[in-house]
A and B are shown apart, each in its own frame.
Chain A
Amino acid sequence: MTVGPLFPPERLAALRSGDLADVRAALAGLPRAELAAWLATSEGEAVLRTVFERMPERYTGGPMDGQQTARWVVEREPAETLAYDLVLTEDNCEVRRTGTSGEPTVTLTLDAVSFVEMASAAAQGMDLLLQGRLQIQGDVHLAVRMESLFGLAAPGEPG
């Protein structure tokens, strides 16, 4: 197991809460390198997995050309990469292990800190992409809809 920094219990609870505002508050002021190191621990991995499992709760859906798969690849060096497929239809989102739903329509690859930021609407995918932190492959139109599909537009940003 990788040893990472110790976070106070309140910060841990907030990161685990799934509440976007709480997660954003927990991220505020936390040095990136420290959070990255923690997300590479098994405790961090558990939080990342929880974020994935809870993504369907946030799914708002929208017009969709049949079933589409968005693959998320979350890098957390030196620990192993986490990857999930989100299988999307107009009104449903299912989280699956990769490789069980065929080729993805789009693949989003990013570091764990950026993933947490994006999943909590602390950062916008387009900003992460422009900063070179997020790479996309495949269908650009589905990629740029990710945030609106999960109700993650930043306050004031078009959804």
Chain B
Amino acid sequence: MTAHVSPQPESDPQPETGALVEADVVVVGGGPTGLAAAHFLAGHGVRTVVLEQRLTPSGHPRATVINSRTMELLRHLGIDAAVRRAGVPLQNTARITWCTELAGTELAGLDIIASADALMQRAVNSPVLPVICSQNRVEALLVDRLPDNARVIRGVKAEELAPTPSGVRVTASGEGGRPLVVEARYAVLAEGLHGSLRETVGLEQTAATPLGRLLDIHFSADLSPWTAGRESALYWVLNDTVRGVLVTVDPVDGEWLLEIPALSADEEHRYFEQEVDHHKLIEAAIGKPVDAIEGLRIHSVRNWVMGSTGLTSWRSADGRVLAAGDAAHTFPPTGGFGMNTGIQDAHNLAWKLAAVLRGNATDALLDSYERERRPVAEFNARHSETNALQKRALLQSDADPEFARNIEEHRPHFDFEGQTLGFSYEPGPGESVVQDVVNYRPTAQAGHRAPHAWLDRDGDRISSIDLARTGFALLTGPGGAVWRQVAQETATVAGLPLTATVIGTAGSTAADTAADGPQLRDVNGAFADSYALRGAEAVLVRPDGHVLARLPGVAPRQELAQAVDRIVTTGLMPARAEVLS
């Protein structure tokens, strides 16, 4: 068998096994984290090779929630619309339902977008909405749209990772073929929970006590007779045979996941240690006999341990190997953070690798990756664990009229815009990385994601979050024209492009736009409100969309030089550097 390379133009020679492939970065693992890493790295001009042992992506849906921050990143890759089409728009699944059986009594419901106001509020926070789209579909789209300077080599298993004078050498084997060798400056291990290379470079796993095991049944069926009029993302079912959740994967084509946690030793035995009739479990969840469920077909059954794992360190001692995604952290699925956190790890890491590879930042910048991402992953782990325990208690409670009374307490499990958009890097002492799980409050303070605001250019709308997608961006108000001059003198920061954009006030018109005046206009005052810039002040945004520093604009050149110097030599956020040094 030969290795499969995709996507490559027909005429491009495929590397044969036994060949030596050179790259800037080698990524081990072509799951969502590895594929996203390849996109983000390639976007910064980094030649990337992904090694994936599976010949074809798994058809099992696994994760289904794409949160708003991940959708923003997919928007920058130009695949948000395709993901939305491949998935279920939130407005069709903006509800969570609890019932005895799908066809039985409804016990409670939670509306995530209950009102027009709630939807309008979401639209203020981000240019995208979260989407329910299964992991296998997202992976397929990521593979399909991979740029030319990134390639995925399928059907090869990375067996060994060894240091070289200038980086790493990964030896991989294809079935029956000679080994494929990839030499690169850095390796990203996106090998998932079960990958074996981390251990070999001294990255040791840690694991909290598992919260139980989950049975996962992927099936097709027309369930519309029982979902019509109350379409939900999740239907939790509580009856004597099944206590679990029916996850909507594709309601139009009728694709579902039934996830049943084993809540006791007895259930562990019932679900995993003896022959279980999966059709019977589906029957019990729906509350109808199999022959009354149209088109019922089971595709795959998996089980997995629900719990959090981590690594003692995310970076090898020699600095050449970094872990990301499930390889660095796993959580229970309650909250849907697994895939999202992995993709966002890759986004944080990509520009740093690009800067270091170009020789414009010291290696210390890469230490900021774990320093920034680990606390976010740990917060997501704790939150997912809390959710899991609460759901377990709820699943064990009586399915009686009392059930609905405290349902509102479960909102943070399903409604977490404050967590997805509001997390910050290197928060001040005593501050949490997330201030409020449910409610997002835009702020352009250092460490936070630079908030979204619509800006107008001759009738076209551009989001403020689009200004830093390929490099560093200075965002300033009408009083900050000087920053354009500064950016012209300093074309790059850490080897990545720097731009400066002057944003006019909401009331200004095209006539005010002199040659050196505002290039964009604040559409509805949201930019002024959330960035709260005074006079010549500017916000310096990193290529991953997080605010690096607020620069007062009193001595602009010096302020920029200082901020840049800190990040390229220590990787520290300037605002926090004072506190930490």
Contacts and interface: CB of A to CB of B under 8 A. Distances in A.
Nearest to B231: A141
B116 A139 contact: yes
Interface residues of A, number: 24
A102 interface: no
B89 A140 contact: no
A135 B454 CA distance: 14
Interface string B229-259: 1000000000000000000000010000000
Contacts of B123: 129-130, 132
B89 to A, nearest CB: 7
Contacts, number: 58
Contacts of A106: 116
Most buried by B among A36, A126, A130, A158: A130
Interface string B106-130: 0000000111101110011011110
B461 interface: yes
Contacts of A135: 120
Most buried by A among B92, B459, B523: B459
A47 interface: no
Contacts of B524: 132
Contacts of A32: 458-460
A126 B115 contact: no
Nearest to A131: B461
A8 interface: no
A33 interface: yes
A119 B524 CA distance: 24
A31 interface: yes
Contacts of A157: 85
B119 A129 contact: yes
Contact of B116 (A33, A36, A63, A138): A138
B439 interface: no
Nearest to A36: B459
Nearest to A32: B459
A158 B252 contact: yes
A117 B60 CA distance: 38
Given A126-B91, A138-B116, A132 B461 contact: yes
Contact of A63 (B91, B229, B252): B229
Contact of B91 (A137, A139, A144): A144
Contacts of B128: 130
A137 B121 CA distance: 12
A133 B129 CA distance: 16
A130 B463 CA distance: 10
Given A126-B129, A130-B127, A31 B114 contact: no
A156 interface: yes
A136 interface: yes
A31 B120 contact: no
A143 interface: yes
A36 B92 CA distance: 32
Interface of A: 31-33, 36, 63, 106, 113, 126, 129-133, 135-140, 143-144, 156-158
Given A144-B92, A156-B85, 9 more contacts: A31-B459, A63-B229, A129-B119, A131-B127, A131-B454, A132-B454, A132-B524, A138-B116, A157-B85
Give the top 7 A-B pairs by smallest Cβ distance, nearest first: A32-B459, A144-B91, A140-B116, A136-B116, A132-B454, A131-B461, A33-B459
19 contacts: A31-B459, A32-B458, A32-B460, A36-B459, A63-B228, A113-B459, A129-B120, A130-B126, A130-B128, A130-B129, A131-B461, A132-B123, A135-B120, A136-B119, A140-B118, A143-B119, A144-B91, A156-B85, A157-B85
